[in-house]
Amino acid sequence: MTAQRRAELAEGIAGVRDRIAAACAAADRDEAEITLIAVTKTFPASDVRLLAGLGLTDVGENRDQEARPKAADCADLPLTWHFVGSLQTNKARAVAGYADVVHSVDRSRLVTALSDAAVRAGRTLRCLVQVSLDEEEGRGGAPVRDVPALADGIAGADGLELGGVMAVAPLGADPAPAFTRLAEVAAEVRRNHPDASIVSAGMSGDLEQAIASGATHLRVGTALLGGRRAIVR
Ligand SMILES: *Cc1c(COP(=O)(O)O)cnc(C)c1O
């Protein structure tokens, strides 16, 4: 039932937009500073198409196997594709074919692989350094001390453009201090790279705290699209 799904998605968008508006008002920020990325993982290309019809411009995916065919299905739509999941170097070439922004750059080998792939594809990839805010948990991301060198590496690589930083809040902890730390790391990156203004933080459960700490890009799945079924990998 396309009409019913469209209505559900419209309701999801309205709810998230209300939360963004309230969080921006509370933080004295302009809503225009915020880009809402719909994380469409596990949902079909038909949902991406409906979201685009409802005015969303940015979509995110976390697995190449799923993202590649979906992006191909939706190639006629004016969308910006964000790759937000952990990325193996052997997938860099595939991802460089459809992604516009890669949020999960956390090691120098990946910088090299993405640069080679982007040059080969004749594309420019905007890359964010993924920062680990809980160094023991292993949810991906570079330790804070490695961030400046990675940022310099991206900025100097052919085919890549440094967009800024990204993080996922630590599981089961208050996200606010983690997002404050991310804001500090982002400010440090901007000292050498003033155009690297993206701070990708905030998901369905913590977008208010992310906005309060200066996030520019929110990656929202569940609150827009509904619950995901568990994926067996
Ligand atoms: C799935 C995912 C999201 C969206 O999570 P929700 O809690 O469903 O909003 C955001 N960022 C990354 C990296 C993800 O993998």
- What CATH number does residue 27 fall under? 3.20.20.10
Check residue 137 and give its pLDDT: 58
CA pair distance 67, 60, nearest whole angstrom: 9
**230 inside domain:** no
**126 inside domain:** yes
Check residue 95 and give its pLDDT: 98
**Rg, the chain, Cα only:** 17
Q: Could you write out the DSSP letters of every residue in 91-104?
A: GHHHHHHH-SEEEE
How many angstroms separate the alpha carbon of residue 81 from the centre of ligand 1? 14
Check residue 138 and give its pLDDT: 64
Q: Tally the domains of the chain.
A: 1
Mean pLDDT by 10 residues, the chain (233 residues): 94 98 98 98 98 98 98 98 97 98 98 98 98 77 97 98 96 93 98 98 98 98 91 53
**233 inside domain:** no
**24 inside domain:** yes
Q: Distances in Å between the alpha carbon of 136 and those of 110, 130, 133, 157, 211?
A: 21, 15, 9, 29, 25
For atom 5 of ligand 1, the residue with the nearest CA is: 221
How many angstroms separate the alpha carbon of residue 218 from the centre of ligand 1? 9
Q: pTM of whole model > 0.85?
A: yes
Check residue 229 and give its pLDDT: 77
**231 inside domain:** no
Closest by CA position to 115, among listed 88, 82, 153: 153
Ligand 1, atom nearest to 39 Cα: 4
Substitution site in 20, 35, 37, 39 for ligand 1 pocket (most atoms within 8 Å of beta carbon):
39
Task: State whether residue 87 is helix, strand or coil.
Answer: coil
Check residue 135 and give its pLDDT: 65
**114 inside domain:** yes
Residue that the structure tokens 């453009």 belong to: 161
**67 inside domain:** yes
CA pair distance 38, 49, nearest whole angstrom: 12
Q: Distances in Å between the alpha carbon of 126 and those of 72, 171, 231?
A: 19, 27, 28
Counting beta carbons within 10 angstroms of the beta carbon of residue 128, is it exposed (0 to 12), middle (13 to 18) or buried (19 or more)?
A: buried
The residues lining ligand 1, judged by C-beta closer than 6 Å to any ligand atom, are: 39, 41, 62, 84-85, 168, 203-205, 219-223
Domain that residue 167 falls in? 2-225
